[in-house]
Structures are given as structure tokens and as C-alpha cells.
Amino acid sequence: MSEINPKTRNVEEDGLARELATSGVSLSEIANRLAQAEADTKGQTEPAPSVNKITWPQVGLVTEPGRYMFKFGWLTITAEDLAVWKQHPAAAFTLYSTGAPTQPEDQSEEEAGEEFRLGTFELREHISLSEK
């Protein structure tokens, strides 16, 4: 395992700093680039938060409220969720996790998984092909 020489790293950083300074880039652009670099670094160790949307066809056009198993975990669909989909079939709900994965004693490992619910929704005109 090789270690990075701090002197070499500082020389590289100084070179990059000089390059940015002479490039005429604004301070806000430099700040944006630094923020992006930091986000990219965090992305290697922490998953980036994302907002997942889910549509009625993606859940198989279910017609009854209940708890359903999907690739991503368990999804609880309420009667109110279904009422929205019946009135607006192209609506896309925000999918949110209810917390840590659960595995009650009466469930096998295959049945255990993360729990999800449907949150706020947006009304869409049409469903894209990737959401069918």
C-alpha cells in the first residue's frame, strides 16, 4: 500500500489553484466546482439522497390496499393512495422509507426488507414509457 506524499499533494493542489486563478473563472464557479468535488468524494462512501417517484403501472396497477413486496422492499399502499391513482392514473407518488429494515420473528430473511410508503404526489399528463 503506497502512501501519498503530502508535499507532492500540496504541489498538485497549488498547481490546480494557480490554474483556476489564471483561468478567469469567478469565485462562485470555483466554489461550485469545490462543492461538486466534495459531493463526488462523499458519493464514494455515502449514497446520495434521491427522490424516487413511483407510478401505478410500476406497482402492477394494484386494486386493493395492502402491503406488497417489490425488488426495493415492502410497500404499503393505502385506500387513499389508490383513490388518487383511480382519479389520476398518471400520478407519480414520492416513495419514502419508513425506517430501518424490519424482520419480525415470524418472517424469514427473504420476507424481511425495508419498509416504504407513498408520500406526496405529482399529477402528470402522460406516463413515460420507462414508467410503464
Q: Give tens-digit pLDDT for 90-101.
A: 999 999 988 756
Please determine, for residue 132, whether its predicted confidence score (pLDDT) is greater than 90.
Answer: no
Task: Determine which of 23-27, 39-43, 87-91 has the lowest per-residue pLDDT on average.
Answer: 39-43
- Cα separation, 82 vs 23, in Å, equals 55
- Cα separation, 95 vs 114, in Å, equals 12
Counted residue by residue, the chain has a size of 132
**What's the gap between Cα 110 and its chain centre?**
23
Mean pLDDT of 44-59: 72
